[in-house]
Amino acid sequence: MARGRFITLEGLDGAGKSTHLTWLVDTLRSRGHVVVQTREPGGTPLGEKLRALLLADSMHLETEALLMFAARREHIAQVIAPALARGDWVVCDRFTDASFAYQGGGRGLERGKLEILEKWVQNDLQPDLTLMFNVSPDVAMNRVTRMGRDLDRFEREQQDFFSRVRDEYLARAAASRGRIRLIDASRTVNEIQVSLEEIIATI
Ligand code: TYD
């Protein structure tokens, strides 16, 4: 049985990830793949409890990083690794690039500590493809505030935080040797779907 593919979606809050996630999962299913759709932080009953804490409660930045990776450890063990071993495809809304971007870039946690956690929790597991939705922090923040719902602890951050998150995302994309595909998310939904079609045709 061939191992399934592991695809992650990344970008600032408000970059439009959620719209494209639904389309991507439907498209892959229509091509005959069995797709497990999941998210981080979360994806398991324990991970969803950690998510609720992470999005609501203030905490030390290292506690935040450790809880993100604790949720991820459970997620890999319970959901991601078994699905890939079955030959299913996994589409995950955020993964470790978000820890580097938000806890590393945004909050300033040393990259070396994140790399230790990454190695510990993932060993050699990495996404086969990461779709990174790239918009400017002001466009993203406008979209988030226009949604009109209560904002979580990350969405309430200021523009300079999102600028650092985005810079880290872009630096990781540049260093990723093709794993991360940058998508200009300031375009229309249809234009973006055309790009996504081209990208998924290659994997
Ligand atoms: P997201 O799923 O984008 O939230 P929403 O339901 O509003 O679309 O992600 C929740 C938040 O978690 C997001 O602001 C980024 C943050 N996050 C981190 O800071 N580090 C991480 O490792 C992950 C996976 C998410």
Q: Is 157 in the pocket of ligand 1 (CB under 6 A)?
A: no
Element (H, E) at 138: helix 137-146
> 6-200 in CATH: which number?
3.40.50.300
Check residue 98 and give its pLDDT.
Answer: 98
What pLDDT digit, counting tens, does each position of 108-138 carry? Answer: 999 999 999 999 999 999 999 999 999 999 9
Q: Is 41 in the pocket of ligand 1 (CB under 6 A)?
A: yes
Give the pLDDT band of residue 2 (cuts 50, 70, 90).
confident
Q: Is 8 in the pocket of ligand 1 (CB under 6 A)?
A: no
* Residue labelled with tokens 């290659």: 202
Give domain limits for the chain: 6-200
- Residue 85 CA to ligand 1 center (angstroms) comes to 26
- Residue 147 CA to ligand 1 center (angstroms) comes to 16
- The alpha-carbon radius of gyration of the chain (Å, integer) is 16
How far is Cα 167 from Cα 106, in angstroms, rounded to an integer? 9
For residue 78, how many C-alpha atoms fall within 13 Å in the half-sphere facing its CB? Answer: 15
Q: What is the pTM of this model?
A: 0.96
